Amino acid sequence: MARPVIAIVGRPNVGKSTIFNRIIGDRLAIVEDKPGITRDRIYGTGEWIGRSFSVIDTGGIEIDGEDSLLRSVRMQAELAIEEADVIIFMVDAKAGVTNADEEVAQMLFRSKKPIVLGVNKVDNLQRMDDIYEFYGLGFGEPVPMSGAHGMGIGDLLDAAVKKMPVKEEQEYTDDVIKVALIGRPNVGKSSLVNAILGEERVIVSNIAGTTRDAIDTPFEKDGQKYVLIDTAGMRKRGKVYETTEKYSVMRAMQAIERADVVLVVINGEEGIIEQDKHIAGYAHENGKAAIFVVNKWDVVDKHDKTMQHFTNSIRDHFLFMTYAPVIFLSALTKSRLTKLFPVVNHVAEQHALRVPTNVLNDIISDAVAINPPPTDKGRRLRINYVTQVAVKPPTLLVFVNDPELMHFSYERYLENKIRAAFAFEGTPLRLFTRKKSDQE
């Protein structure tokens, strides 16, 4: 199920990012911190009274030049109107209603989107009287809050969740592989979609997705059923996306969350840029199987080591995704396109792989015998047993005498040993350490 999207809009210095961080809590902090991964704090996920949702902090838009403040605020509102199911309009109790607030209010009115008006910086009871002038913006009862003190956040979320739509979407059987294409603008995603769906022996059924966020195209190839999830917004060229390309990431997230396999499309002619890391990082953090697809390979000047050099460059830039295979192709000429789906099938299988507990523990026992855990202040980590608790991605629970003794480097060593035994190619592998209780 695609999550509803909440966008937080408002002029600078009203506390949007503080409220954003309050809503998503420590979710960004608990994501494994791997070298090379790029953080982008404009997008997160939250949960309230059983509803899961995505949150956009529009405050990252910065425009240089004349009237930069007003233009920035306008663009934030445009972005929210296009992307969000519910908009939280943030204002500042201390500053009162400003011209910029009134301009945003006019835009939000015209959008017909559900709006929750949040009045921030109501840090004490004396400030409660300051909220009444905000009734004049026309969005009903304002929600007083203090991002700095964490007050009123629950009331804000209550109001937002009440206005969220229930998103229904096409359900697919387990034998269908859901494939999402992601990548920054101009890497050739649309051309690749057309090349895949136009290829011989592909049976396409034109069923539009039932969410507005993505277009689902079910098709069958060589007896295997797939659904291609193409981000609808990627095909549009709005002012927001032309000005700040990184916001196309938000549309990609909708597709990533629903996919089994993510194709991270890179422009072979231009090479790797920072935005590619942002986009690939979301696939990794969501635990999806992934393949790097280097497109436009037909126009690259090549010699006998070009492919290896480009692969090495990908490995250097994406240190957190060394598990993802690399495919070189041309959507335009369809050169090497036949190599793609055998790899898609393989990584989807690896993503859903389940290893028997006894086999897993044999591998771990051998790894510990070869390289025992180091001691820490005279204490040594003892691994009792390991069991796989989930697939998509494969997730392992490691029972130990004291989780604090599990050093990151030793955890990486165990992961490498497990990968050497079972491959898990194309998929992240999650290891969680837990103290073994006397009852277990």
Any known ligand binding at 296? yes
DSSP 185: T
189 is in an annotated binding site: yes
Q: Per the annotation, does 123 bind a ligand? A: yes
Answer yes or no: is 301 a known binding residue: no
pLDDT tens for 86-98 read 999 999 999 999 9
Q: Which one has a higher pLDDT value, 325 or 66?
A: 325
- The reply, when asked if residue 231 is annotated as ligand binding, is yes
Residue 97 annotated in ligand binding: no
Return the SS3 of 312. Answer: helix
Write down the pLDDT at residue 234.
42
Q: Is 222 annotated as a binding residue?
A: no
CA distance 440 to 400: 12
pLDDT, one tens digit per residue, over 229-275 is 875 444 444 444 444 444 555 667 778 888 999 999 999 988 888 77
Q: Which residue has the higher pLDDT, 210 or 428?
A: 428
Ligand-binding site membership of 378 (annotated): no
Instruction: Give the bridge partners for 181, in sequence order.
Output: 230, 263
Q: Render the burial of 166-194: b for 16+ CB within 10 Å, e for the rest.
A: eeeeeebeeeebbbbbbbbeebbbeebbe
Q: How far apart are CA 219 and CA 203, in angstroms?
A: 5
Ranked by mean pLDDT, the top range of 69-73, 238-242, 416-420 is 416-420
Q: At what angle do helices 153-162 and 16-24 cross, to 10 degrees?
A: 80
Integer Cα distance of 217 and 275 in angstroms: 27
Residue 14 assigned as binding residue = yes
On whether 17 is known to bind a ligand per the annotation, the reply is: yes
Is 174 annotated in a binding site? The answer is no
Helix, strand, or coil (residue 133): helix
Is 234 known as a binding-site position?
Answer: yes
Has 288 been labeled as part of a binding site? no
* Residue 48, marked binder: no
Q: Which of 157, 359, 347, 202 is nearest to 263 (CA)?
A: 347
Q: Does 122 appear as a known binding residue? A: yes
> Is 361 marked as binding a ligand?
no
The pTM score is: 0.73
272: DSSP letter: -
Altogether, the residues listed in the chain come to a count of 440
Going through 391-439 in order, the beta strands assigned E by DSSP cover: 395-400, 430-435
Residue 298 annotated in ligand binding: yes
* Spatial separation of the C-alpha atoms in residues 113 and 391, rounded to whole Å: 38
Domains and CATH numbers, the chain: 5-162 (3.40.50.300), 177-350 (3.40.50.300), 357-435 (3.30.300.20)
The answer to whether 347 is annotated as binding is no
Q: Which residues contact 402 (CB under 8 A, 6 or more apart)?
A: 379, 381, 435
Residue 418 has pLDDT above 90, yes or no: yes
Average pLDDT over residues 299-321: 92
Residue 185 labeled ligand binder: yes
How buried is 305 (Cβ within 10 angstroms: 0-12 exposed, 13-18 middle, 19+ buried)? exposed
Please report which helix (H) or strand (E) contains residue 91, including its range.
strand 86-92
Mean pLDDT (the chain) is 83
| Cα distances (angstroms) measured from residue 161 to each of 5, 135, 336 | 10, 21, 47
